[in-house]
Structures are given as structure tokens and as C-alpha cells.
Structure 1
Amino acid sequence: MRSFTVAIRIPEWVQHPMHRLIDDHEAVHRSELLEWNVTGEQRTALVFRVLADRDVYERALRETASIREYELVDGRADELYLYVRDTPTESDRELYDAFTATNLVAVPPITFLSGGRLTIQMLGTAADVDTVVNALPGGFDVELEAVTAMGPTGGRVGLTERQRETLAAAERVGYYDIPREGTVNDVADELGLATSTAGDHLRKAEATLARSYLDGRF
């Protein structure tokens, strides 16, 4: 049994309108699917944590025809919690079916990002992952970001291998020293990356660690 972190890019023409909103509006940044219940071909019940402006996000919820019911609750800063009952599209059902045909277990959250991209951590076997990739509808791009041993911390925090490498490099160059000795440029040089890429890895890793700590996941 292994832990697999997979990135899936969903074609624009089958993206859910609330996912497309991340690209369409600068006030909507990301959403994380925390819990879900597929109650049949015509209904899904979902709980999201969303980083967005409430007015913008709620207006989009009201305008999305497939959403049958929702409740939006304020969290910290621009963080929102959403309970929603939605009517799945044919592509949604194909995506669900691809995963339920295996013994893979999804580890929340499933994170929705810009560019139609989502990341998901799964526990299972390499054969199960291959089955999912082969069963996904045409036009879905899949990238395997990390494979690690199954364990409570790795499974709950969900850093990718590249993010772990970037944090380790930052520590080596003194980026986390007080006072700070290293820079993002130093981290990039250590790993042979562009500065912008190294900075992106650091920000994502730090955001994941901060949310995990605040949520009591370690």
C-alpha cells in the first residue's frame, strides 16, 4: 500500500462553473473538497473549504444551474465553508466511476486550483492508479506528483515530494534562520530551478503546513 499524489487537469469544456471561477475571477483563489457523498446519479452532497471573496463566490453559486441547495459559512479571513447539493454532469459521473472501480482511498482534501487543475492524494496500489488513469474520460491529463510510503503524517499533511525537497533546500541555505540568511534565489540555485518556480513550491508547501497545523492535523 502506497500514497500517491496525483494532479489531474480537467478540460475547460467539462469543468464545473465553480471550478472555472478560479480562473475567471481574481477574488477566487482555490477550493478544497473536504467531504463528499455521492447519493446517486442525480445528486451529490459536498463540503468545501474555499479561499475567496464571499460576495463574488455566493453570486456564482446562485447563478450555477446545477446547484440545488447550498449553505455558506464564514471562516478565517477570506476563508469560507460551503455545504452544497449539486447535480453531477456526465463528466462528473465518469470521474467518480473511474475511482470507485478500484480500491483506492482518497485522502481529503481534494484541492481545486487554476487552469482546471486538481490535486488528490490516494492510498492504494500502482495497479489501481493505472486503472483510474485508463478509465478517465478523453482530454483529462494526469500527472503523478509523488509516491511515498503510507503513514499518518505524510497522508494527512499531503506535501508533494518536490515541496519537501524545496523546504529541505530552504533549510540548508538558511532561508528559515533568524535572522534570515538565505533567499528564494539561493533555494532556486540549490535545486537548479527558476526563482519563480522555487518561490511557488515554497508558498504552496508553507500554506499546506499552516492549514494542517490550524486544523489540528499534526
Structure 2
Amino acid sequence: MSTSTIAVVRIPSSEFALSDTFEQCPEIECDIERLVAQDSDSAMPFMWVRGPDLDAVEDALREDSSVSELEVLSDLSDERLYRMSWVAHIRLVIHILLEEEGTILDAYGRDGNWRLRIMFPERESLSATYDFCREQGLSFGVEKIYDMNDSARAGRYGLSEEQFDALTTAAEQGYFEVPRGTSATELGEMLGITHQSLSERLRRGQENLIRSTLLIDDPDVD
């Protein structure tokens, strides 16, 4: 039985969609919530954009050579949510989504780089994507890889089984609420572990959870 693999990769914005926009507005941040392939020639992202001058960013997006359609879905004071069609500089996206049947879980663009978290159906699909990029002259910097087996499946974000159980039980029992719904001693008794072991599991679990979700958005984090 094959095991799905999640990889965090870095791609220069100059080799990816929206390179024109990043060149004109280098201070922007782009956060993709969903990215699907419409066909072999186009992809449709749902993307949050943040920047000091959102009107200028929108003008740049409408003039971007990789964008054919643009629709504002939400306009907040400091960010906007767009639905758009990408039609250029998306060879890698199409390869991942259609040829390797991968899923782009999220993507974040800032400071001249895109950082993508991708789930491949098997490790060979990641290797094939790396080879594809080399053949096409594209950059594909792999920063993190982890396999999603039975004890650390995709929904656990790199947590061990013990850390997963400790965190979910703590949340269910109101341990993180203010005021707390249960004490550390009571929670440890529920899990059959000491207060010290509980504290260690929660601390390590929270660190793994943050590294697997939040820190992948920061291109400056190793």
C-alpha cells in the first residue's frame, strides 16, 4: 500500500504565476486557500492578498500576463480575497495537479518567493515532479518532507499519536479555555500519564503543530 507524502517547497516568484505583480508590488503577501486545475492550460486559485496599497495591487493583477480573469470575493480594510484564472507560468502547477494527481494544500508568496505545501499520492510522485522541474529549467527547492502513514496521517500535521491524543483531549475537556475547564492533573489522569509527561506532550505537540502549519508561511524560517 502506497503512502502519501507531504512536501514543503520553495519556488522563486519569477518562475511562477503573478511574477509581473510581484515585480510591480514587491511588498505584497499572497495566501492561497485553494488551487485547482481547470484544464491543462489554466488553474483557478482562491487567494488572499495583503499590501499597503490594495488598489495598486489590483491594477497590477489585472495587467498581469499570467491572469486572464479576476473577481473580488471579499474586500476588507487590509486584505482582499480574489478568485482568478492563471494561464501562464503554471507548468509546475498543472504537472502537480493533473499528471501527478497531487494536492496543493496551501501556498504563500512573499519577498520574491512562493512556499507551497503539497500532498503527493506517493513518494515517487514527488521525485517525478523534481525531475520535471530539472528538465524544464525550473527551481524546486524541497525544504521539508514527511510521509503520512497510519500513525501520522494527513490530519495530524506531523504529530505523534501520543501528542495528537493529548492535544485533542485537552481541547475537548476545555483545558485551553479561559477559565480552564479542567486542570493539568485531571487531564493527566484521563490520559493515564503524569503531570510532567502531559506538559511535555502538550509542549512538543504544540511546537510540531506550529511548525507544520504556521511556520511554513514564513520564507525566512529554515
TM-score bracket, shorter-length normalisation:
0.5 to 0.7
CA shift for structure 1 position 147: 0.4
Give the match for residue 155 of structure 1. 154
Q: Which amino acid aligns with 1:140?
A: S
Q: How does 1:10-89 map to 2 (within 5 A)?
A: 10=12, 12=14, 14-18=15-19, 21=22, 24-26=25-27, 28-41=28-41, 43-53=42-52, 54-74=54-74, 77-89=77-89
TM-score (norm 1): 0.57
* Aligned match of 2:167: none
d(CA) in 2 for partners of 1:99, 1:112 = 19
Q: Which moved more, 1:92-101 or 1:120-129?
A: 92-101
How far off is 1:31 after superposition?
2.4
Which runs of no fewer than 5 residues in structure 1 stay unpaired?
165-200, 209-218
Q: Secondary structure at the match of 2:84?
A: strand
Q: Deviations over 1:1-33 (max 9, x none)?
A: 133122132373x3333575289432x123215
| SS of equivalent to 1:128 | helix
Instruction: Work out the percentage of aligned pairs sharing the same amino acid.
Output: 11
In structure 2, C-alpha distance between the alignment counterparts of 1:56 and 1:157, rounded to whole Å: 39
Partner residue of 2:95? 97
- Cα RMSD (Å): 4.2
Structure 1 or 2, whichever has the larger Rg, is 2
Q: Distance in 2 between matches of 1:128 and 1:203?
A: 22
CA distance in 2, matches of 1:75, 1:115: 24
TM-score (norm 2): 0.56
- Corresponding position: 1:3 with 2:1: no
**Structure 1 CA distance for aligned equivalents of residues 10 and 97 of structure 2:** 13
Residues 109/150 of structure 1: CA separation in 2 closer, same or farther (3 Å cut) = farther
Q: Render the CA deviation track for 1:103-135: whole Å, top value 9, x for unaligned.
A: x43142233333323222214222221111111
**AA aligned opposite 2:37:** N
The AA in structure 2 aligned to 1:147 is Y
- How many equivalent residue pairs? 167
Q: Deviations over 1:146-183 (max 9, x none)?
A: 304257x96358579xxx9xxxxxxxxxxxxxxxxxxx
Whether the 8 Å contact between 2:61 and 2:67 is mirrored in structure 1 is: yes
Structure 2 residue matching 1:120: 3-state secondary structure: strand
* Residues 140 and 46 of structure 1, relative CA distance in 2, 3 Å threshold: same
User: What secondary structure, in the 3-state scheme, does the structure 1 residue paired with 2:112 have?
Assistant: helix
| Alpha carbons of structure 1 residues 150 and 110: separation in structure 2 relative to 1, 3 Å | farther
